Amino acid sequence: MIARSIVNPRLLLLVFCALLTACRAHSQPAQVDGSGGDKQPLAWRGMAIQLCKGPEALETYTPLIGEVAGLGANTLLLSVAGYMEHARSQAIYVDARVIPSREVLLKLIEEAHRHELRTVLMPIVLLKHPRGSEWRGVIDPPDWGQWWRDYRDFIKYFDDIAREAKSEAFVVGSELVSAEKHAAEWETTVYTARAHFPDGQLGYSANWDHYKPVTFWHMLDFVGMTSYYTLADERNPTVDEIVARWRPIHRQIMDWQRTIGKPLLLTEVGWCSQEGAATAPWNYYQNMKATPDGHEEQRRLYEAFLQVWDGSPGLLGVIWWEWTPSPGGPGDFDYTPKNKPAEQVLRRWFAQGRPASQPTSPSSTAAP
């Protein structure tokens, strides 16, 4: 009698992906040294677009992609959402009324490539009907095992689109603070994502105050994190005051980055054009009024950020949050810099990263 050995499918997946990761490590050049040294131009100078128009996505976002390229950016992050009802619910679902179809996503990524933009696809979890102050960082489903199976199906769906579209990078999760304690589940998730997206870069976007507890940075190609730090105690700080608040934060993050040895991508950098944006950058609701002082505070925050962060060794790039279908301008108090003084700051910075043969388009209505 010949005995049959029982093969664990998960073990086979882990072994396959470990071999794949090893091969990629030998075959792909590093994006950024990450070891310190003199200042260097940032490789990824990007803008984010949230895709949330469902059936109208193609006609809504195709012009925006051209606008982002016209700013001078070289990278486009496309954010797509899956939904939970609230933080204690179970299911994750994709709402076709909100999220573009697979075919439309492929066309949008193709359009970005036509404009010579590197693309990063970032699926996130949003709460449809949050209770109180709930957000994705505090989710606690009744059955974590089932949640992880659903989450991997969610990730695989978009991962396969990224592979087919030849997207350059994929983010396996964003700000899932309460889920980060499940180290083994994240290990399986990253291996699964690698198997479905073998030729691109993988990252995770940590919340700005919770990047150190993440246990799986070693499995990824880049470290991602948001940047919503408190940078002032009062409204309308000066650029110098904001710079002074950034310096110790920057030093702490970059010292930590050198211990991890992975390039850092700031996946969300941005501030509302509201007075007081520097005091609570994550709080869109704190002062929902458009004023000249609010627009000036946003501009100063952009200027101060670049004074501190631009050219940091080990920093792969910056994704600005965000470019929207709205016209922006003087009446807008949202995060977009569109047609606001902050747009001019961005145009100058993007131009520094473009080859001389690729001039950026002129601005439309934003003040210099």
Residues 47 and 319: beta-carbon distance below 8 Å: yes
Q: Dmax over Cα atoms in the chain, in whole Å? A: 84
Q: What is the CATH number of the domain that holds 109?
A: 3.20.20.80
What is the number of domains present in the chain? 1
Assigned domain for 131 exists: yes
CA dist 50 → 45, 86, 147, 182 (Å): 17, 20, 24, 28
Q: How far apart are CA 168 and CA 66, in angstroms?
A: 18
- CB burial readout 54-66, b (16+ within 10 A) else e: eeebbebbeebbb
| Residues in contact with 86: Cβ distance below 8 Å, sequence separation at least 6, in sequence order | 127, 128, 129, 130, 131, 134
Could you tell me if 231 and 248 are in contact, meaning their C-beta atoms sit under 8 angstroms apart?
Answer: no
Whether 316 is in a domain gets the answer yes
CA distance 56 to 225: 30
By 3-state DSSP, what share of the chain in percent is helix, strand and coil, each rounded to 5?
A: 40, 15, 45
For residue 29, what pLDDT is reported? 32
Q: For residue range 30-50, list pLDDT tens digits in order.
A: 333 333 345 666 799 999 999
DSSP per residue, 37-77: -S----SEEEEEEE---GGGHHHHHHHHHHHHHHHT-SEEE
Q: Which two tokens stand for residue 105?
A: 């996503």
More confident residue, 129 or 285: 129
Residue 91 inside a domain? The answer is yes
Please report which confidence band the pLDDT of residue 346 belongs to, taking 50, 70 and 90 as the band edges: very high
Average pLDDT over residues 81-96: 97
pLDDT digits (tens, 9 = 90+) for 201-248: 999 999 999 999 999 999 999 999 999 999 999 999 999 999 999 999
pLDDT (tens digit per residue) in 302-311: 999 999 999 9
What pLDDT does residue 42 have?
Answer: 79
Which residue range forms the structural domain that includes residue 244? 38-352
pTM: 0.88
* Residue 13 included in any domain: no
Tell me: pLDDT of 348 over 90: yes
In this structure, is residue 227 part of a structural domain? yes
**Residue 15 located in a structural domain:** no
Tens digit of each residue's pLDDT (9 = 90 or more) over 6-30 = 445 454 444 444 444 444 433 333 3
| Each residue's pLDDT tens digit, 319-342 | 999 999 999 999 999 999 999 999
**2 occurs within a structural domain:** no
Q: Rounded to whole angstroms, how far apart are CA atoms 264 and 311?
A: 12
> Which pLDDT tens digit goes with each residue over 107-124?
999 999 999 999 999 999
Predicted local distance difference test score (pLDDT) of residue 39: 63
Distance of CA 61 to the CA centre of its chain: 18
- Residue 28 belongs to some domain of the structure: no
